[in-house]
Amino acid sequence: MYTIKTYLMAQTLEEAYSALQKNKSNVILGGCGWLKMTRKRFWTGIDLSGLGLDWIEQRDGWLEIGAMVTLRQLETDPALRGLFGGILPRSVERIVGVQFRSCATVGGSVWMRAGFSDLLTALSVLDTEVELYHAGRMPLEAFFALPRNREARDILTGIRIRLDGRDAACCSMRNTATDFPAVGAAVSRCGPGWSVAVGARPMRAVRVPEAEAALAAGDLQAASRAVEALGYAGNLRGSADYRRKVAQVLVRRAAEEILHREGKQ
């Protein structure tokens, strides 16, 4: 269990950001789904739960999701099941258990940039932007490239996804129902263009341009083979070779699901 010296219930984002900068041992408290599993010690815990960052809204051609939205909210929101093939609810519905999903937040999940994140794999194949309090708005890939040291800290206030009409699907392989994924994949299609991402390699999800080009050319088998060249590693959930082989199957299944909904399979 983590410990903190002092606790701050922030009244504004500016107050939260200022407090975060005062000490390298200060930390943002969101749902604390992962933080409470650590043994770290912090000087000040900054609580964002009173700032109203728990919205899910559609406006001006974008789906906007606040940082304090829980994974359980993503899973159960009726509107999300009709967007992007329902990929957002599906990406989180197998994460640990309902109690955990009811406290873990979108902001915490995105900010961690964890390799095992099913949500990041799904977001990688959507036109996703991240909103930071200080640095502003940026594409998800640009956020991934930001340094992760304590001197480069900011507050993630939410994400937004362009409502471009794309269809999407995701799938994963788990050793047990509520375990972290051994490997995961997501695929989307917007007009003639395809997006493919593979995550839990066990490294963070990455796009696979070669697979995307193969799907655009109508070659499902070539798309499946293209993910073989990605970097994979082994851990207690599977070897590198196991992940490499399973990733090919998952990409094909996700693409076939989209094609089936389009009546092309």
Q: What is the pLDDT of residues 152-182, one digit of tens each?
A: 689 999 999 999 999 999 999 999 988 899 9
pLDDT of residue 31: 62
Strand 136-139 relative to strand 128-132, pairing: antiparallel
Where along the chain do its domains lie?
A: 3-47, 56-162, 167-261
CATH architecture entry for 167-261 = 2-Layer Sandwich (3.30)
Stretches in the chain below the pLDDT threshold 70: 1, 31-38, 149-152, 264-265
pLDDT of residue 210: 97
Question: Which long-range contacts (C-beta less than 8 Å, at least 24 apart) are formed by 55-64?
Answer: 55/158, 56/80, 58/163, 61/162, 61/163, 62/160, 62/161, 62/162, 62/163, 63/160, 63/161, 63/162, 63/163, 64/158, 64/159, 64/160
Question: Could you give the CA distance from residue 243 to residue 140 in angstroms, rounded to a whole number?
Answer: 24
| Entry pTM | 0.93
pLDDT of residue 11: 95
- Considering the domain 56-162 in this protein, what is its CATH number? 3.30.465.10
- Written as six digits, the tokens of 243 are 């992940």
pLDDT of residue 152: 62
| 56-162 shares its CATH topology with 167-261 | no
Q: Cis link prior to 202 (omega < 30° from 0)?
A: yes
Question: Could you give the CA distance from residue 4 to residue 246 in angstroms, rounded to a whole number?
Answer: 42
pLDDT of residue 38: 66
pLDDT of residue 128: 98
